[in-house]
A = this chain, B = another copy of it.
Amino acid sequence: MEDNLAKVKISDIAEKAGVSAGTVDRVIHNRGEVAEKTRQKVLAIVREMNYEPDILASTLASKKSYRFVSLTPRADAANPFWASPTEGLKQAWQEIRHFGVSLDQYFFPYHDRAAFTSELDKIINNPPSGLILAPIFTEQTIQAMEKLTQMKIPVVFLNTLVEKQQNISFVGQAPVYSGMVVARLLEYGLHQDAQISIINLVSEKGGNTHILNREKGFREYFSSSAKSSAIQLNTINITSQDPLEFDSLLEKHIGIDDVKPKSHGIFVTNSKVFLVAEFLEKKGMKNFNLVGYDLLEQNQGFLRKGIIDFLISQQPHQQGYNSVITLFNALIMKKEIAKNQYLPIDIITKENIDFYLNN
């Protein structure tokens, strides 16, 4: 733990090797223009003396600068989720900007494929040192990744994973497992002959792999749970934006058993769970166990009221934060980077929510 021995410096190595500091520097950074024999000699001494570069002095002297760019959905009323990752990006940047890092945040409207593409083009035309990308649209991402890889620009995928790409890392949640967690929570609170509705509230425009995987994990759990073989699952997909239609669809599917109230669970596969909570509240339907995703303001309210039982959170702020740190570790600290950085699947209740809100 303790290093009593004074720090070894480049000048120490230079002296011992009988060369100049410049030569040692060339060896250490593999910049060539050094005789092989000299190189070996210096390398040996570097190892022998256990040299560790002073990163502060190094960045101060080198005057290198790094431009990090992020491309994420814009947070707005329809998409409050993205406010947190955006904040997380900024906060991490604040902590590392002394190392000559700048951060440009680019945005696109969540469902706007064209905007996504054109922002990506802009980025490619003014290449950054590293890119943090929320790869919402799969095809466009794959196309861009081809160019980015060629240009040797390291890319971190944020929140969404596109498989088989040359991204240096993915930072986000494992959606299949989060579905299993929800399954577990519903099973734990329901009778063994309960009925469960899986509700997908989606736009038709894609960007829904998350949701599919969450449902997949959820169903997997029940298909392998002996305990709950009598539980019935049915899926409801609602794409309509029209409130009236929404209500009647819900009523049709979950309202029916109201006469003979029976243990009934509802799994909303994304952050729109507050819409279902609103419906239940309006209709005075209390006999439901309701679980969904993300700590949006609206969801918080229903969680505190007890209409939503659990929310699954995916550490959105930390996702943004970790993405920046990942690029920093790769480019400035030259560390090895894990390809997948899965964040915890947090289970949130009325009782612990306050401890998750800043994070």
- Give chain A's interface residues, CB within 8 Å of chain B: 1-3, 54-57, 59-60, 90, 98-99, 102-105, 174, 177-178, 180-181, 183-185, 188-189, 221, 309, 342-347, 349-352, 354-356, 359
Contacts and interface: CB of A to CB of B under 8 A. Distances in A.
Contact of A345 (B2, B56, B344, B352): B352
30 contacts: A1-B90, A1-B103, A1-B104, A3-B102, A54-B60, A55-B98, A56-B59, A56-B60, A56-B98, A56-B99, A60-B60, A177-B352, A177-B354, A177-B355, A181-B349, A183-B351, A184-B349, A184-B350, A184-B351, A188-B188, A188-B189, A188-B309, A189-B189, A221-B351, A343-B355, A344-B346, A344-B352, A344-B359, A345-B352, A346-B346
Contacts of A189: 188-189
Contact of A102 (B2, B177, B185, B343): B2
A318 B343 CA distance: 14
Contacts of A354: 177
Contacts of A181: 349, 351-352
Contacts of A59: 56
Contacts of A56: 56, 59-60, 98-99
Contacts of A178: 352
Nearest to A99: B56
Nearest to A341: B358
A346 B57 CA distance: 40
Given A60-B57, A98-B55, A102-B3, A355 B350 contact: no
B352 A347 contact: yes
A104 to B, nearest CB: 7
A346 B315 CA distance: 12
Contacts of A184: 349-351
A349 B347 contact: yes
A349 to B, nearest CB: 5
Contacts of A359: 344
A187 to B, nearest CB: 10
A351 B354 CA distance: 23
What 5 pairs between A and B have smallest CB-CB spacing? A347-B347, A345-B352, A180-B351, A181-B351, A344-B355
A99 B98 CA distance: 12
Contacts of A352: 177-178, 181, 344-345, 347
A102 B6 CA distance: 12
Contacts of A102: 2-3
Contacts of A3: 102
Given A56-B59, A345-B352, 13 more contacts: A1-B103, A56-B56, A56-B60, A56-B98, A174-B355, A177-B351, A177-B355, A184-B351, A188-B309, A344-B355, A347-B347, A347-B349, A347-B352
